[in-house]
Amino acid sequence: MSALRQALPYNHFLASLPPEVADLLQPWIEVVDLTTGVMLYDAGSVLRYVYFPVTSVISLVSPLQDGAYAEVAVVGREGVAGVCAFMGGTTALSSALVQRPGSALRMRARDIAHFARNVEPVMRQLLRYTQALFTHMAQTSACHRHHAVVPQLCRWLRQHLDRQVGNDMEITQERIAGMLGVRREAVTLAAQQLQRKGLVHYSRGYLRVLDRHGLEQHSCECYSVVQRAYEQLLTGSPVWPRQSGASAAACTVECRQTA
């Protein structure tokens, strides 16, 4: 069995398609390894590829004039980065930054646009996923504007943990501050509060979450709003799968053994 065929079921969007449709897409998809910090595409640039994460995590970010970026959404194995490819536009609306390394499936933007136009299940699932993603982006924008740093940080950590394997993150306070659009000192104080509560353990460039449920309890309401939007993909589509982090990890091992 090829690495590609093994990886397909572990991206929820691709797994939600009827098997015959997934088989139709397979010749146009390739497995790629993504590295932390790599910008997959920039806002305003011609979109060449869309990405379906398997074990990687991608931040959709808005660039600012001073060169900084603020995260507007995060994409993991539940979805796809680059949805504007099928909406008639040729340029990216946001930038896509690899936040966590791992595997992904990649497809040319023009190919996904072609299948969206001509294969009804592809368009239907893209529209349903995009609705959830737009809710994610709108709620994140509101969160940046109205909520304190501690609940924002809890929300951000939970959203990223939901899309990765394990509870460990290699990330600096400076990068988190950039994603939240706040000062680094504010993130330092917030991380110290969470550590005193026993929710996380943080050392330079490394963070381990000790209590996921506690993080959710200390998150602002934005976490549950976004979570419900993605849950609707499950309730509205009986074929939209649930995959565990352990299953995704097993897929990574299998893919690398057979690649």
Q: Residue 240 above 60 pLDDT? A: no
HEC readout, 115-177: HHHHCHHHHHHHHHHHHHHHHHHHHHHHHHHHCCHHHHHHHHHHHHHCCCCCCEECCCHHHHH
Question: What is the predicted pLDDT for the residue at 254?
Answer: 40
Q: Residue 216 above 90 pLDDT? A: yes
Specify whether 110 is located in the same domain as 13.
yes
For the chain, the 3-state helix, strand and coil shares in percent, each to the nearest 5, are 50, 20, 30
Give the DSSP letter of residue 64: -
How far is C-alpha 98 from the geometric centre of its chain's CA atoms? Answer: 9
Average pLDDT, the chain: 87
Per-residue pLDDT averaged across 168-195, rounded? 93
Q: Residue 116 above 90 pLDDT? A: yes
Question: What is the predicted pLDDT for the residue at 244?
Answer: 40
Per-residue pLDDT averaged across 120-133, rounded? 93
Give the DSSP letter of residue 17: S
Q: Residue 200 above 50 pLDDT? A: yes
Question: What is the predicted pLDDT for the residue at 5?
Answer: 67
Question: What is the predicted pLDDT for the residue at 246?
Answer: 41
d(CA 112, CA 63): 25
Do the domain assignments include residue 125?
Answer: no
Give the DSSP letter of residue 178: H
Q: Is 150 left (phi over 0), alpha (psi -120 to 50) or beta?
A: alpha
Q: Residue 191 above 80 pLDDT? A: yes
pTM of the entire predicted model: 0.86
Specify whether 66 is located in the same domain as 145.
no
Q: Which domain holds residue 188?
A: 140-237
Specify whether 109 is located in the same domain as 18.
yes
Do the domain assignments include residue 133?
Answer: no
Site of tokens 């959709």: 60
Specify whether 147 is located in the same domain as 115.
no
Specify whether 162 is located in the same domain as 104.
no
Q: Residue 239 above 50 pLDDT? A: yes
The three-state secondary structure class of 235 is: helix
Q: How confident is the model at residue 255 (pLDDT cuts 50, 70, 90)?
A: very low
Q: Residue 222 above 70 pLDDT? A: yes
Q: How confident is the model at residue 253 (pLDDT cuts 50, 70, 90)?
A: very low
Per-residue pLDDT averaged across 148-162, rounded? 96
By C-alpha distance, which of 50, 56, 167 is closest to 104? 56
By C-alpha distance, which of 33, 36, 32, 12 is closest to 22? 12
Question: What is the predicted pLDDT for the residue at 252?
Answer: 39
Specify whether 2 is located in the same domain as 39.
yes
Per-residue pLDDT averaged across 161-175, rounded? 91
Q: Residue 23 above 50 pLDDT? A: yes
Q: Residue 250 above 50 pLDDT? A: no
Do the domain assignments include residue 165?
Answer: yes
Q: How confident is the model at residue 119 (pLDDT cuts 50, 70, 90)?
A: very high
d(CA 251, CA 255): 6
Q: Residue 63 above 90 pLDDT? A: no
The three-state secondary structure class of 31 is: strand
Do the domain assignments include residue 16?
Answer: yes
d(CA 8, CA 29): 9
The string over 189-217, giving b where at least 16 C-beta atoms fall within 10 Å of a residue's C-beta and e elsewhere, is: ebbebbeeeebbebeeeebebeeeebbbe
Do the domain assignments include residue 255?
Answer: no
| CATH code: domain of residue 29 | 2.60.120.10
Residues of the chain above pLDDT 70, percent: 88
